[in-house]
A and B are shown apart, each in its own frame.
Chain A
């Protein structure tokens, strides 16, 4: 069951904020967020687990509403390096991590 991401694309000026949303029609065990730059492999940003635990490397914040099966990734004071495609991945049950189609973020000077 592929999660649905919105928006599909967003263009920002440096310093602006953005929110990327991820939703599922089924109850989630965890939500993963990754960023991929053109021609490169996806890179881990954050995991949000059922029950409230979060794991992440970068200074990027996210929320996980278990009741609504939704997660949001908050990009504040965007930098040029934030440009790329953001993917959310979800675990519903079993051992499958499935990804959405991605949100393309462009940050301009």
Chain B
């Protein structure tokens, strides 16, 4: 199993550009989420999903969109990139209907810089 994979590993954008960060897991996990981590800070929840077709907002959803058309994939879209979105983005997944109360498996992260 590859676990949780994220692409790209690194990305540089110009202000106003849009892009999609990819996240995929091969563990058949129902629960998936996106976090951002700024230097010296904790993990802040952007969006999460409890299953295919179901998504909801986290603490810092503005400027980001998500969709969950399959169990495996949970892409994060930046609509119009801003320097404030410079961060490391982590995708995570966990198992079962009570996935929130199980181990979260994190992907390796995407380091995004917006100029």
Contacts and interface: CB of A to CB of B under 8 A. Distances in A.
A104 to B, nearest CB: 9
Contacts of B50: 95
Interface residues of B, number: 24
B50 to A, nearest CB: 5
A96 B58 contact: yes
Contact of B100 (A40, A44, A91): A91
Contacts of A100: 42
A41 B103 contact: no
Given A2-B42, A47-B102, A95 B56 contact: yes
A99 B56 CA distance: 17
B96 to A, nearest CB: 12
B42 A101 contact: yes
A41 B109 contact: yes
A10 to B, nearest CB: 16
29 contacts: A2-B42, A30-B100, A32-B104, A40-B108, A41-B90, A41-B106, A41-B107, A41-B108, A42-B90, A42-B104, A42-B106, A43-B106, A44-B104, A47-B101, A47-B103, A89-B43, A89-B104, A95-B31, A95-B48, A95-B100, A97-B33, A97-B45, A97-B104, A98-B45, A98-B58, A101-B41, A101-B42, A102-B41, A102-B42
Interface of A: 2, 29-30, 32, 34, 40-44, 47, 49, 55, 57, 87, 89, 91, 95-102
Interface of B: 31, 33, 35, 41-45, 48, 50, 56, 58-59, 90, 100-109
